Amino acid sequence: MASQPIPRRVFLQRSGAAVIGASVFGFPQLIPSRVLGQANGQPGAKDRLNVAHIGLGSMGNAHLGYMLARQSLGDLNVVAVCDVDDRRLATAVKSCGGMATPYRDYRYILERKDVDAVVIATPDHWHACQTVHACESGKHVYVEKPACGTIEEGKAMVRAARSAKVAVQVGSQGRSQREAFYAHQYIANGMLGRVHTVKCWHYASPSDDNALPDSEPPPELDWDLWLGPLPWRPYNRRYLHGVFRWMLESGGGQIRDRGAHVMSNALHFMGADHTGPVTIETKGRVPTKGLWDSAIDMEVTYQFKKPDWTLIWAQPGEMVPYPDRQKLKNEGIREGYGAVYYGDKDKLVVWVGDGQVYTERKAIEYRPPAGGVKVPQSPDFDHHEDWFEGIKTGRKTMMNIEAGVATSFLCVLGNLSLVCGRKLKWDPVKQEIVGDEQARRLMSRPQRYPYVL
């Protein structure tokens, strides 16, 4: 039978007990001493986790809203907010009711000894630097997906998190959702037989139909800091905000935006977080005009070995309509992306994959037999809560940095095969491209100083 969600307060008390146990086994450094000051349940104001937010766009504000709600429950303090756009920063300061200090440069936050944890929701080209720097400064990290922009960035993120022994959660929150748990449980208990193919579908990326020439940046924006690690170039309005996703350098298209959710679930359900494909082959169509250069349509075939299975990312692919049209309407289910898991006995559809995950009734109603495979479950099916638990107990988070990087590698390699125009061979143990000097060079992108790993 599936576990029932644990009430949050009870969880806090239980995790307090877990912390005491954990400290006996040698990783007390994972928990801020102030937070541990209270043995049972609710900490005092000065003993709460101090959280800072870096990046205050749409996802950044969603995280901020969540944390402010938790602050109002007395669970934590939001102590700092940071953005390179002063307008966004001023809005966030207001949202925090004056309780958070504003910064343009996130490195001021990392200097603060009282900050325990950071939430990073910047464009993709910043994720690795900010995560590595935060880990090196001893902060716990929640970083938006996809984790990294290049292979070498991903490796550096893993090294930094391991070395600092901090809890990192990557924002592929689909793994923490209730119906993802049911789908995972169903697949892991062999109800599909041996799964040999996973086919993802997702609607196309847009093209830039309103191309503009380069211009001066607006006064509220620190363009140099927005670019950060990227090579310098003049400002263009079509780089930001939000639309950074459609640039290969700063976003990478749907395969990185939603692929980091849908393929995250695929690796999770297949128990393949610690593996990787051996070949990657991409076919695609890129825009003929405008600034954005990520593929409009694409199909990426990833071949895994030992065990053998195939993962296909297809844009648009073959959408499976969600069967309950009334529920779809009522709950705003975004059926435009998802995946079908094909086994030798049966198949299973998993719709959406991010903050929403839906699957078929047979998986929802399934309960594993005694001795069946138990799959991990986030507390309250809440991805942030899972991060907090990781901070408190030192256990791996649901979308830990290794898993986040493994997923991100799929996205990176899919795009690399497209830009190189050829099939790539990958060594999943050494985590490097094989037999292609140019593609190997593209495993990293030297960063503009001082915005370096």
Closest CA to 380 of 2, 3, 6, 1: 6
Q: Output b/e per residue, 399-429; b: 16+ Cβ within 10 A.
A: bbbbbbbbbbbbbbbbbbbbbeeeebebebe
At 234, list the tokens. 């003049």
Interface pick for other proteins out of 14, 36, 86, 206 (rule CB under 8 A) = 86
CA distances from 97 to 78, 81, 90, 91 (A): 10, 12, 11, 10
Interface pick for other proteins out of 13, 23, 38, 101 (rule CB under 8 A) = 101
Binding mask 217-236 for other proteins (x = CB under 8 A): -----x--x-----xxxx--
CB of 387 to other proteins, least distance (A): 23
Lateral strand order in the sheet of 347-352: 357-359, 347-352, 337-343, 195-202, 309-315, 297-304, 279-285, 424-427, 432-434
Is 241 near other proteins (CB under 8 A)?
no
Cβ nearer to other proteins, comparing 36 with 93: 93
Binding mask 182-221 for other proteins (x = CB under 8 A): -----------------------------x-xx-------
Q: In this chain, which stretch among 4-12, 86-94, 177-185, 257-265 interacts with other proteins, using CB under 8 A?
A: 86-94
Interface pick for other proteins out of 319, 320, 333, 420 (rule CB under 8 A) = 420
Is 446 near other proteins (CB under 8 A)?
yes
At 229, list the tokens. 């690690």
Cβ nearer to other proteins, comparing 111 with 308: 111
Interface pick for other proteins out of 26, 332, 371, 435 (rule CB under 8 A) = 435
CB of 292 to other proteins, least distance (A): 11
How many other CB atoms sit within 10 Å of the CB of residue 333? 17
Where does 75-193 have alpha helices with state H? 86-95, 106-111, 124-136, 151-164, 178-188
Q: How far apart are CA 131 and CA 141, in angstroms?
A: 7
Write out the residues near other proteins by the rule CB under 8 A: 84, 86, 89-90, 93-94, 97-98, 100-108, 110-111, 129, 133, 136-137, 211, 213-214, 222, 225, 231-234, 286-291, 293, 419-422, 435-438, 441-442, 444-453
